[in-house]
């Protein structure tokens, strides 16, 4: 592989890894926020335990979202400085908004939510998780704004060999953005819902003592998945109707194949969710024969989401910015194969291992169920002051 | 407008050093002050509520670099390519240590991740010293130059001292010496000195390479309305987790 292929592989590997975790974050954040709100309203122990259990899973997943995201942010400057040289005045604005405002607030409020348990007033604590959800959606919006600009460079003109921002409104109402954003949010909700369903099916199949807990969780999951898949499919098709990027998939098998699998998978899922899971929502928690199927379905939304990104990004080739800047021209001048090989190996090994650990930890929490060993929101005991020396 | 964004950039970078400095400092001190699991738990619990609110300052620095200084962003990061990759990995490992250390009960598991927190903190602190040197020489000199290495040691020691002061402020039993908030602010300022020095030297260059006014106007219009909320959220963190409000209470999530 030459340096260009290596740098593309590095971005594809870290980007796909990042999105696996972001996808579930986007789906679980609103669900945890709703559970927490219910708990604040009713004060019922069931709602508290649901908030803590699904909140703990949300947070373990979040850890990898952060660390992979750090690598993503810096990778632009490391390997693709041609992009910031040519279009930084335009492309940089949404990226700055994401990091400087949306993620800044998300991280701050997340810290308050995690460690504010038992310290913050009840409704202030609930407000924190809603702020986390809102800013996570804000982050997704600005990242997709930046990506949409690459697909369809609206709102900018060429001046002196560089793109210059002329219309910020056009950046935010880009045809490549307005349908892709709900598509991604829908996919997040669908994935979050299916994780609730799969985890609940696992526990119910094993004849858990927590029948009410996982029956409720499964129902919440089915409803969320139904809403999510409907939104995803609707806005998925809408993207084909806007008529940008002609010929994106016709001559490009590497983009058309993942697209085909994603579309077929999405169809199949909408049939399963809307015509089987949703009508049978009351019976599903008791139908033990169906539980292995539900468990087996859980990883598939993640696969479909990555296929969707592969289609969108490979379809953009050879352009970094559609019909303006090629990927080859965006590569940092002077970058050598040795440099990228070393960083690719480092990022892949470290992030890959951490991702595996993270999924094992999530699986472990699901297997143990909402017992007493959840750290999130555990009652703090006061210890004697440590001995000084 | 260029001046305003330079000031914001400077505040973010110096703020990162002053705030994340004590998180890294406490990480550095884990093997020194935290000989038992119980003490390490308390040390991590002391910084835990602040870490997420602190490390994000660097994320904001990088975003500002991209938005306000797009011509320099690639220059800076590429100029230090191997170092930036190493520092990113150190940051990733430190964060993973914090998130994972309490997820499984066994003492071996926690010892392993605590060692990675200390290692990641050391690597990242020393990396900052070398990165500042590399940037100060305009990326003409290797960060591994003796002066760069020396600056790495200096930054590491400053962070460790700042971390020690922080522990004295939040959980004095850990250091055996209580420190006031004023002293903590002072060591924060000292920890930020290396970054401020670089910023002062690079001010003219940065101002000359700002994004065009149209971009800066859009950024101002979009960012400044949120600034009060961002400041309020950060202040809320410090009010909520100030000492005396159960700072000695564990377990914490990290």
**How high is the pLDDT of residue B245?**
61
- Judged by CB atoms closer than 8 Å, whether chains meet at B103 and A375 is answered as yes
Total tally of structural domains belonging to chain A: 1
Contact B148, B127 (CB under 8 A): no
The pLDDT confidence band at residue A387, using thresholds 50, 70 and 90, is: very low
CA A243 to chain CA centroid, nearest Å: 27
- Residues pairing with A381 in the sheet: B250
Q: Which of B12, B23, B38, B73 to mutate to test the interface with A (most CBs of A within 10 A)?
A: B73
Does the residue A342 lie in any domain? no
Per-position b or e across B20-48, b if 16+ CB within 10 A of its CB = bbbbbbbbbbbeebbeeeebbbbbbbbbb
- Percent of chain A exceeding pLDDT 90 equals 89
Tens digits of residue pLDDT in A148-181: 999 999 999 999 889 999 999 999 999 999 999 9
Tens digits of residue pLDDT in A193-203: 999 999 999 99
The region of weakest confidence among A162-166, A287-291, A348-352, B112-116 is: A162-166
Tally of CB atoms within 10 A around A172: 17
- Percent of chain B exceeding pLDDT 90 equals 87
Average pLDDT over residues A228-251: 91
Q: Which of B88, B90, B139 to mutate to test the interface with A (most CBs of A within 10 A)?
A: B88
Helices (H), chain B: 2-33, 37-68, 70-79, 81-100, 107-136, 146-170, 181-208, 213-223, 227-240
A158 phi and psi, to 5 degrees?
Answer: -80, 130
Tell whether the model's pLDDT for residue A48 goes beyond 50. yes
Domain ranges of chain B: 2-240
Cα distance from B147 to chain A (closest Cα, Å)?
24
Q: Which residues of A touch B81 (CB under 8 A)?
A: 78, 335, 339, 343
Q: Which residues of B touch A146 (CB under 8 A)?
A: none
Q: Which residues of A touch B211 (CB under 8 A)?
A: 88-89, 92
Does the residue A229 lie in any domain? yes
* Residue among A228, A216, A311 nearest A269 (CA): A228
- Judged by CB atoms closer than 8 Å, whether chains meet at A96 and B64 is answered as yes
How many Cβ contacts (< 8 angstroms) between chains A and B?
Answer: 243
Question: Which residue range is the domain that position A235 belongs to?
Answer: 197-241+246-315
Cα distance from A84 to chain B (closest Cα, Å)?
5
**How high is the pLDDT of residue B248?**
53
The pLDDT confidence band at residue A380, using thresholds 50, 70 and 90, is: low
Does the residue A99 lie in any domain? no
Q: Which residues of A touch B52 (CB under 8 A)?
A: 107-108, 110-111, 114
Of B49, B59, B75, the CB nearest to A99: B59
Whether B185 and chain A come into contact, CB under 8 Å, resolves to: no
Does the residue A69 lie in any domain? no
Whether B205 and chain A come into contact, CB under 8 Å, resolves to: no
Of A97, A107, A350, the CB nearest to B56: A107
Does the residue A292 lie in any domain? yes
Of B92, B219, B253, the CB nearest to A376: B253
The pLDDT confidence band at residue A16, using thresholds 50, 70 and 90, is: very high
- Judged by CB atoms closer than 8 Å, whether chains meet at B49 and A111 is answered as yes
Contact B22, B166 (CB under 8 A): yes
ipTM for the assembly = 0.96
- Judged by CB atoms closer than 8 Å, whether chains meet at A111 and B68 is answered as no
Three-class secondary structure of residue A213 per DSSP: helix
Q: Nearest residue on chain B to A95, judged by CA atoms?
A: B63
Contact B162, B21 (CB under 8 A): yes
**How high is the pLDDT of residue B246?**
62
Whether B244 and chain A come into contact, CB under 8 Å, resolves to: no
Q: Nearest residue on chain A to B219, judged by CA atoms?
A: A93
Mean of all residue pLDDT scores within chain A: 94
Tell whether the model's pLDDT for residue A305 goes beyond 80. yes
Q: Which residues of A touch B65 (CB under 8 A)?
A: 77
């Amino acid at each position: 592989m030459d340096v260009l292929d290596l740098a593309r592989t590095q971005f594809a590997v870290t980007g796909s890894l990042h999105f696996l975790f972001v996808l579930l974050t986007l789906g679980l954040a609103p669900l945890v926020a709703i559970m927490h709100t219910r708990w604040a309203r009713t004060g019922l122990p069931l709602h508290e335990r649901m908030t803590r259990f699904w909140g703990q899973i949300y947070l373990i997943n979040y850890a990898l979202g952060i660390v992979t995201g750090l690598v993503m942010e810096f990778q632009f400057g490391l390997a693709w400085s041609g992009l910031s040289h040519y279009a930084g005045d335009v492309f940089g604005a949404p990226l700055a908004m994401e990091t400087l405002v949306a993620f800044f607030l998300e991280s701050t409020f997340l810290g308050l939510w995690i460690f504010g348990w038992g310290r913050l007033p009840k409704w202030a604590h609930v407000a924190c998780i809603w702020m986390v959800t809102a800013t996570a959606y804000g982050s997704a919006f600005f990242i997709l704004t930046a990506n949409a600009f690459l697909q369809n460079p609206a709102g900018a003109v060429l001046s002196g060999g560089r793109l210059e921002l002329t219309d910020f409104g056009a950046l935010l109402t880009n045809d490549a953005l307005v349908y892709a954003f709900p598509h991604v949010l829908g996919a997040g909700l669908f994935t979050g819902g299916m994780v609730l369903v799969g985890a609940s099916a696992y526990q119910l199949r094993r004849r858990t003592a927590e029948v009410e807990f996982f029956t409720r969780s499964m129902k919440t999951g089915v409803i969320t998945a139904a809403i999510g898949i409907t939104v995803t499919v609707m806005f998925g098709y809408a993207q084909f109707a806007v008529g940008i990027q002609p010929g994106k998939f016709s001559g490009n098998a590497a983009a058309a194949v993942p697209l085909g699998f994603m579309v077929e998978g999405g169809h199949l899922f909408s049939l399963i969710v809307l015509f089987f899971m949703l009508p049978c929502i009351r019976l599903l928690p008791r139908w033990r024969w169906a539980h292995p199927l539900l468990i087996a379905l859980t990883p598939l939304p993640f696969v479909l989401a990555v296929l969707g990104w592969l289609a969108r990004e490979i379809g953009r080739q050879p352009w970094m910015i559609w019909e303006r800047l090629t990927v080859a021209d965006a590569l940092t001048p002077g970058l050598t194969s040795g440099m990228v090989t070393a960083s690719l190996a480092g990022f892949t090994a470290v992030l890959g291992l951490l991702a595996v650990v993270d999924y094992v930890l999530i699986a472990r929490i699901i297997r143990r169920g909402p017992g007493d060993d959840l750290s999130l929101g555990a009652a703090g005991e006061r210890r004697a002051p440590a001995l000084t020396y | 407008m260029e001046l305003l964004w330079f000031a914001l950039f400077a505040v973010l970078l110096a703020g990162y050093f002053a705030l994340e400095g004590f998180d890294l400092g406490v990480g550095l001190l884990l093997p020194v002050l935290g000989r038992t699991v119980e003490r390490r738990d308390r040390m991590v619990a002391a910084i835990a509520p602040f870490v997420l609110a602190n490390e994000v300052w660097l994320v904001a620095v990088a975003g500002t670099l991209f938005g306000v200084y797009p011509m320099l962003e690639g220059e800076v990061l590429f100029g230090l390519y191997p170092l930036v990759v190493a520092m990113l990995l150190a940051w990733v490992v430190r964060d993973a240590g914090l998130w994972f250390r309490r997820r499984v009960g066994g003492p071996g598991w926690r010892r392993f991740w605590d060692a990675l927190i200390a290692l990641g903190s050391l690597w990242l602190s020393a990396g900052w010293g070398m990165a500042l040197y590399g940037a100060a020489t305009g990326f003409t000199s290797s960060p591994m130059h003796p002066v760069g290495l020396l600056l790495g040691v200096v930054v590491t020691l400053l962070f460790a001292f700042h971390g020690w002061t922080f522990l004295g402020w939040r959980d004095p039993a850990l250091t055996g010496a209580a420190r006031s908030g004023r002293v903590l602010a002072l060591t924060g300022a000292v920890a930020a000195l290396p970054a401020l020095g670089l910023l002062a030297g690079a001010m003219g260059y940065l101002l000359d390479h700002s994004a065009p006014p149209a971009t800066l106007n859009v950024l101002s219009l979009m960012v400044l309305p949120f600034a009060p909320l961002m400041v309020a959220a950060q202040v809320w963190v410090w009010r909520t987790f100030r000492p005396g409000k159960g700072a000695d209470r564990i377990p914490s999530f990290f």
